[in-house]
Amino acid sequence: MLNQTDLSRVDLNLLVLFEAVLEEGHVGRAAARLNLSASAVSHGLSRLRALLNDPLFLKHPKGVVATARACELAAPVGDILARVRAVVGQAERFDPARSTRRFTLGAPDGASAVILPPLLAHIGREAPGVDLSVRALMPQDAFADLDARGVDIAIAPLVDIPARFAAALLYDEEFVIAMRHGHPLGAQPTLAAYAAAAHVLVSLSGDPHGNVDDDLKAHGLVRRVAVTAPSFLSALAIVGATDLVAAIPKRHAEMFASRFGVAIAPAPIPVGRTPLQVIAPQVALRDAGVAWLFAAVAVAARPDASP
């Protein structure tokens, strides 16, 4: 821990620099984000390393990687900066109509493809100067990304939300089966026929095992995952042109199935039915801008929301 003498040498901008390098994983990109030169960022990192007695970031072919100590500092530094930003933000309250901020939203594509069109329409009406960055998010990474301030807000199918986060239910996610028109499964949508079909599994990691496999195992069945796809949109494109089938979020499938010539049918067993939540750190919601976006996402997720 820093003692009082050390604190007299601390420049708050060094923490901002730390946050930028951690999130960008690259000194040059962090410099561009902060409107600084790369040498100024490198000099600031040298001061931080001396102050904290740790290398913090190690060179990597694609940029830099955080040390274990830097990873430990991510959450407390993010918390400090969020509190400072909230205090400073009181001087001029967030006005969506005048703001030119950029927010970062993390979400799986099955949710972002559904929510983004009405959300962007909402932003266009209320906050035409606000920009949005969207990152693909694995549910298991949501809390870590929020703690590290990699995203301002996350959308994820999660149930157990730690107390340090605020969450609001968007809708209950339900999966359906997608297949090409005329697929044999459409005429005989039994559980055995479903298990016997060749499947597309959406998996960012490429892991061919998913929740459906666990559900089938409980019924003494197994399936063949013929291919993994990185997104539900790519899975729909594959399904529409092959004899493969896929489990797709219902609202996503209803929105995009016709574009890919895909038919949808109820799953023969409950598949991946979970509540989809919008989540943000409690401390981040002290920022009126983040609180506004949190509420805007909830509005965009309503069934009657329209672009």
- pLDDT 10s digits, 67-81: 999 999 988 888 888
For residue 234, the enclosing domain spans: 175-266
Do residue 33 and residue 162 come from a single domain? no
Strand 198-202 with 224-229, pairing: parallel
232-241 and 109-126 are packed helices; what angle lies between their axes, rounded to 10 degrees?
120
Domain membership of residue 246 (yes or no) is yes
Same-domain check for residues 286 and 253: no
Q: Which of 64, 89, 114 is the last residue of a domain?
A: 89
307 occurs within a structural domain: no
Q: What is the pLDDT of residue 173?
A: 86
Average pLDDT, the chain: 89
Let me know if residue 95 belongs to a domain: no
Query: Do the domain assignments include residue 113?
Result: yes
Least-confidence region, from 1-15, 100-114, 223-237: 1-15
DSSP 18-77: HHHHHHHS-HHHHHHHHT--HHHHHHHHHHHHHHHTS--EEEETTEEEE-HHHHHHHHHH
Distance CA 118, CA 304 (A): 10
Q: What would you report as the CA-atom Rg of the chain, rounded to the nearest whole angstrom?
A: 23
- Give the mean model confidence (pLDDT) for residues 237-265: 93
pLDDT at residue 2 is higher than 70: no
Mean pLDDT of 196-208: 92
Query: Both 166 and 293 in a single domain?
Result: yes
For residues 197 and 56, membership in a common domain is answered with: no
Rounded distance between C-alpha atoms, residue 113 and residue 97, angstroms: 25
pTM of the model: 0.67
Q: Are 268 and 187 in contact (CB under 8 A)?
A: no
Last residue within a domain, chosen from 59, 89, 119: 89
Question: How many CB atoms are closer than 10 A to CB 288?
Answer: 17
Return the percentage of the chain with pLDDT > 90, whole number.
56
Among the candidates 89, 122, 140, a domain finishes at 89
Distance between alpha carbon 31 and the CA centroid of its chain, in Å?
24
* pLDDT score, position 302: 87
User: Residue 247 forms beta bridges with which residues?
Assistant: 177
CATH number for position 35: 1.10.10.10
Q: What are the two backbone dihedrals, phi and then psi, of residue 154, each rounded to the nearest 5 degrees?
A: -120, 150
Query: Are residue 282 and residue 248 in the same domain, yes or no?
Result: no
User: What pLDDT does residue 5 have?
Assistant: 45
Clarify whether residues 280 and 216 are in a common domain.
no
**Confidence band (pLDDT; 50, 70, 90) for 303?**
confident
131/173 Cα distance (integer angstroms): 27
In a domain, 127, yes or no: yes
Count of CA atoms in the C-beta half-sphere (13 A) of 67? 12
Residue 254 lies in a domain: yes
pLDDT of 295 > 90? The answer is yes
pLDDT of residue 208: 92
Q: Is the pLDDT of residue 37 over 80?
A: yes
Q: How many Å apart are CA 201 and CA 225, to the nearest integer?
A: 6
Q: Is the pLDDT of residue 196 over 90?
A: yes
Strand partners, 103: 132
**Residue 135 belongs to a domain:** yes
**Do 115 and 196 share a domain, yes or no?**
no
CATH code for the domain in which residue 146 is found: 3.40.190.10
Q: Are residues 119 and 66 in the same domain?
A: no
* Same domain, residue pair 153 and 179: no
The predicted structure's pLDDT at residue 252:
92
User: For position 6, what pLDDT does the model report?
Assistant: 53
Provide the number of structural domains found in the chain.
Answer: 3
**Does residue 201 sit in the same domain as residue 162?**
no
Q: Is the same domain home to 183 and 262? A: yes
Q: pLDDT class for 60, splitting at 50, 70, 90? A: confident
pLDDT of residue 130: 93
d(CA 92, CA 187): 62
Q: What is the pLDDT, as a whole number, of residue 4?
A: 46
- Residue 124 inside a domain? The answer is yes
Please indicate, yes or no, whether residues 78 and 188 belong to a single structural domain of this protein: no
Mean per-residue pLDDT, 166-191: 92
Share of the chain above pLDDT 70, in %: 93
